[in-house]
Amino acid sequence: MGSKFGFRFLPRGTPAHALAIMSIFGSIAVVRAQTEGRAGFAQAFAYLDEIYREGSEARTRMLAQTSGTIYRVELAGGVFAMEQGYDTRVRPGAFESHRKYIDIQCLVVGAELMEVADIAKLPVTEAYDAERDVIIYGDFLDTSVLRISAGEAAVYFPEDGHMPNLRVGADAAFVRKTVVKVPV
């Protein structure tokens, strides 16, 4: 069914997880609502609830992250998280995407910019590495730029080439972030 504006409407009641979508971003509550019903996301949000709960063991561990550290946390159903502390960087001009996992990139402390583009538009510079589950792409300037702050997240699907960890301003800033990997 169409409209006079040329939009195509989906049948009423079509669940969001049945649609082919690209990246999702916003507050944790918004991202949770937009991914409800997708396999593996319940485990991811149970973990994130602990990360954001004051005084929890997970939050204490996350706040102890120092620059350059990565700590892997195994969750249920093949879901895992990579807790990180680092300084944001200047734009390197390289995107990445993944085939086996969906990324939920959540800022716990600080803010960063992330760029995202459809992988169909990106030039591959490093072929798929199955062991690391990553494809590396060259630079592309026609991107969407997201500013993600503490308490917010961006979800990247296999179609989303993404360039995270970018400086918000001219100077580097220390951030603490967890990236939850959910099997496709």
Q: In what order do the strands lie in the sheet with 174-183?
A: 24-27, 152-156, 101-109, 174-183, 80-87, 69-74
Nearest-angstrom CA–CA distance, 34 and 20? 13
3 state DSSP class of 56: coil
Residue 9 confidence (pLDDT):
44
> Among 73, 35, 36, 29, which residue's Cα sits nearest to residue 52?
29
Q: What are phi and psi of 23, to 5 degrees?
A: -50, 150
Residue 12 confidence (pLDDT):
53
Could you tell me the CA-to-CA distances from 89 to 40, 65, 102, 181 in Å, in that order? 30, 18, 23, 22
Indicate the pTM of the whole model: 0.87
Domain ranges for the chain: 22-183
Residue 22 confidence (pLDDT):
79
Over residues 101-154, the pLDDT tens digits come to: 999 999 999 999 999 999 999 999 999 999 999 999 999 999 999 999 999 999
Over residues 17-46, the pLDDT tens digits come to: 444 567 999 999 999 999 999 999 999 999
7 or 102, greater pLDDT:
102
Q: What is the CATH number of domain 22-183?
A: 2.60.120.370
Over residues 65-92, the pLDDT tens digits come to: 999 999 999 999 999 999 999 999 999 9
